[in-house]
Structure 1
Amino acid sequence: MANHKLLIEDDFEEPFTLIAIHSGEEDYKIAYLINKYLHTRFQRRRVDIDYPANGLMITFPIFDFIDERNFNQFYLVANKCRTTEATLQSSDGLFSEFNSEKATNHYLLPEFKKVDYFLKIYSDFENISLRNFVSEINNITQIVSAYTVDTDTIKSKNNLIFD
């Protein structure tokens, strides 16, 4: 009796473009600035992205914009999430209790720790001039830099599934 194996490859995923954004501004401010200067309509989702890590639920805020006229989907997501863990330590004395806090940074894509935000773009057609789009983002004064990321180098692609 012959054995048959089915090989499933990851070629069925939709191609997307990823733009890395460096800025010290808050997430809602970045969405507002992109809306203002690039004439988009990003809105924050009601439910953020949650990932479990070390017994904690790490939450990343996400904004989306669906351009139905041009068949494009845009997702703006923060790459960093800072959690603070408070601990109460005591010793044998009367006033020797003290609180300590430990702050930890968590990343949506750990291989890009210096990136603050990612802009993920699905496009059915090549109707977006990516070079002009990145150039317009770089013209925003509150954004330090923006550039495209080669999606083949991303190790944690599963973290970019937002649906």
Structure 2
Amino acid sequence: MATHKLLYDDEMEDPFSLVAIHCSEEDYKLAYLLNQFLNTKFKRNKKDLDFSSDGKIILFPLYVYEDLKDYNTFYLVANKCKMMEASLQSSGGLFSESVSEKATTHYLLPEMKNVDYFLKIQTDYGNFSIESLISEINKIKQIISAYFVETEKIKSKNNLIFD
């Protein structure tokens, strides 16, 4: 009987472009600014991007805009998720229990901890100018900087699969 092997090839992945954005605004405010200045229509996805780590579910807000005219899909996602973790400590007395809270930060792409947001662009045709998009994003005064990220250098590229 013949055996069949399925080979996974990284070349078969959907190509995408990635833009790193440094901005101190909240995610909904950044989506609003991009809608206002770029004529996009980012909407919050019904399901956030979720990961589980150490038994905890980590949620990253995800915004999507589908450009049906040019066949482009844009994803805006936060790189940082801050969580408050409560722990109960008892010293053995009747009323001596104390609750302490510790803030922990989780990252979508841990190798790029200084980035606040990522803009992922998937295009069906190669007619999209990433340079002009970055130039327009950098004109927004609330955004500190935006730049192109080479996806080949990202170790945790699988975290950018949103489907």
* Structure 1 residues 49-60: aligned runs within 5 Å: 49-60=49-60
* Equivalent in the alignment of 1:10: 10
Q: Does 1:22 align with 2:53?
A: no
Q: Does 1:38 align with 2:38?
A: yes
**Structure 1: distance between partners of 2:96 and 2:49:** 40
Residue 93 of structure 1 and its aligned partner are, at CA, apart by 3.5
TM-score (norm 2): 0.93
User: CA deviation digits over 1:65-116, x for unaligned, max 9?
Assistant: 0001001000000111111110111213444322111111111111111111
Q: 1:2 to 1:146 in 2, by over 3 A?
A: same
* Structure 1 residues 1-163: aligned runs within 5 Å: 7-163=7-163
Q: 1:2 to 1:28 in 2, by over 3 A?
A: closer
Q: 1:6 to 1:44 in 2, by over 3 A?
A: closer
Q: 1:2 to 1:14 in 2, by over 3 A?
A: closer
Equivalent pairs counted in the alignment come to 163
Q: Could you tell me which runs of 5 or more consecutive residues in structure 1 were left unpaired when the two chains were aligned.
A: none
Q: Answer with 91-100 or 134-143: which moved more.
A: 91-100
User: CA deviation digits over 1:101-136, x for unaligned, max 9?
Assistant: 111111111111111100000112232221111011
Q: Which amino acid aligns with 2:112?
A: F
Report percent identity of matched pairs.
60
Q: Secondary structure at the match of 1:47?
A: coil
Q: 1:2 to 1:35 in 2, by over 3 A?
A: closer
**Structure 2: distance between partners of 1:91 and 1:12:** 57
TM-score (norm 1): 0.93
Q: Which amino acid aligns with 2:132?
A: N
Instruction: Provide the aligned C-alpha RMSD in A.
Output: 1.7
Q: Could you tell me which runs of 5 or more consecutive residues in structure 2 were left unpaired when the two chains were aligned.
A: none
Residue 27 of structure 1 and its aligned partner are, at CA, apart by 0.2
Q: Secondary structure at the match of 2:143?
A: coil
